[in-house]
Homo-oligomer: A and B are copies of this chain.
Amino acid sequence: MTNPLRIGIAGLGTVGGGVVKTLQRNAALLEARTGRPLVITAVSARSRTRDRGIDISGFAWEDDPVALARRDDVDLVVEVMGGENGPAKAITETALKSGKHVVSANKAMLARHGHAMAGLAEQSGVALRFEAAVAGGIPAVKALTEGLAGNEITRVMGVLNGTCNYILTEMERTGASYASVLADAQKLGYAEADPAFDVGGFDAAQKLALLAATAFGSQVDYDGIEIEGIERVNLADIEHAAELGYRIKLLGTASRADGLLHARMQPCLVPANSEIGKLQGVTNMVAFEGDAVGRIVLTGPGAGEGPTASAIIADIADIARGLVIPAFGRPASSLAASVRATTSPIASYYLRFLVNDAPGVLGRVATALAEHSISINRMRQIEHDGDQAPVLIVTHRTSRTDLDRALAEIWRLDVCRAEPVAIRIEDV
């Protein structure tokens, strides 16, 4: 008989507990599929006695997760503790250096130390996998590294944070403000008590950093991502965008042009009838574009006990079947340092001005745009609101530099009652 794969689990929160339950429930199925038993031998967590609805008495216990990573009876460590540094990093390093495979759900640690960890894994000839760190239950990393291995990837897009997509969807559906929908989301458990990490775009940007590195064969570069959260997305903009046939999404995009990497996580307008535009609620979506395949889109649950366990066990099953590929799809030593683009790519923009309702104002705005080579695709003035009037403009494709100059000049004209709003329109 083939020998069992012996698993140590570091972290027994919701996700770790889900891994234990799913490995146990589907043990026979997994043995049939991988050809060997997948056996949990040891676990480590903060509290040994907390009731998690699972029986851990059959597993060895380690108070110190780093000790778990050194155990002779562990072939593979599942790291589901979280945290960018500290124990999470220590256990991953120790496990990899000790010749143990690591399956990690830790996007924060990998977005920061992924390249170094990938190098350690390769030195030891073991696997470092992280399907669960990106887009929950969606096999997104596998689709990139393996399913599209024949393609030069040209663009990656993703709606990677369920909390943000839920809030934006609900704002449009109910006409409620950002603050009010966020408060409801917190009550429903869709948003954390401290939502900054989600609504600020940081969680989604960590995931995008991992996808971009995998897609383009570059070193993980979280700091190279332009990040803007949804905190300042205005209900008026959501409603105006809808009237123009768009939806606002917190969209991650990464592309490479002329050797330069563009990566951003920002609120964007996308066509309401596009696949990304139609995505509702907490569901995640990734879209990959390749030179052979064209585009594929994957949708599914981006978080939660079951979906995350599904992704982790997929990685475990691959390793049980003997698949050891580099973490980012090619050897760490061959991953190029990413060369960040210093300018935004050409794009169309949605602009909103709140102007004085006086003769000649519209013309002065349009002229200022024209003087910076920004041509107008559509322009609409909304019904007056006292002596001020909202003006919506959809531009043709322009550089962000030109746009910023034009907006600064328009602001200096002293005809606006509020700072102009500019949101990129993404061709999706």
Contact = CB atoms under 8 A, between A and B. Distances in A.
Contact of A321 (B131, B300, B316, B323): B323
Interface stretch (A30-38, A191-199, A383-391): A30-38
Contacts of A102: none
A147 interface: yes
A293 B150 contact: no
A28 to B, nearest CB: 10
Contacts of A399: none
B296 A297 contact: no
Contact of A143 (B143, B217, B313): B143
Interface in A293-322: 293-301, 304, 306-307, 309-314, 316-318, 321-322
B150 A296 contact: no
A331 interface: yes
A292 B275 contact: no
Contacts of A275: 299
A322 B125 CA distance: 14
Interface string A23-44: 1011001101111000000000
B146 A314 contact: yes
Contact of A318 (B146, B297, B314): B146
A387 B345 CA distance: 64
A138 interface: yes
Interface string A270-303: 0000010010000000000011111111111100
Nearest to A138: B296
Given A26-B151, A318-B146, A325-B321, A330 B33 contact: yes
Contacts of A331: 32, 35
Contacts of A334: 32
Nearest to A328: B33
A2 to B, nearest CB: 12
Copy count, this protein chain: 2
With most chain B CB atoms within 10 A of its CB, the pick from A33, A292, A297 is A292
Given A33-B330, A142-B142, A314-B150, A293 B322 contact: no
A336 to B, nearest CB: 11
Contacts of A318: 146, 149
A26 B149 CA distance: 10
Contacts of A151: 26, 310
B294 A297 contact: no
Interface in A364-401: none
A63 interface: no
Contacts of A293: 137, 300-301, 306-307, 310-311
Contacts of A322: 322-324
A149 B38 CA distance: 12
Contacts of A296: 137-139, 298-301
Interface string A217-252: 100000000000000000000000000000000000
B317 A292 contact: no
A307 B150 CA distance: 10
B330 A32 contact: yes
Contact of A292 (B32, B146, B148, B307): B307
11 contacts: A22-B291, A23-B150, A30-B149, A32-B330, A32-B334, A33-B329, A35-B331, A151-B310, A292-B306, A293-B300, A297-B298
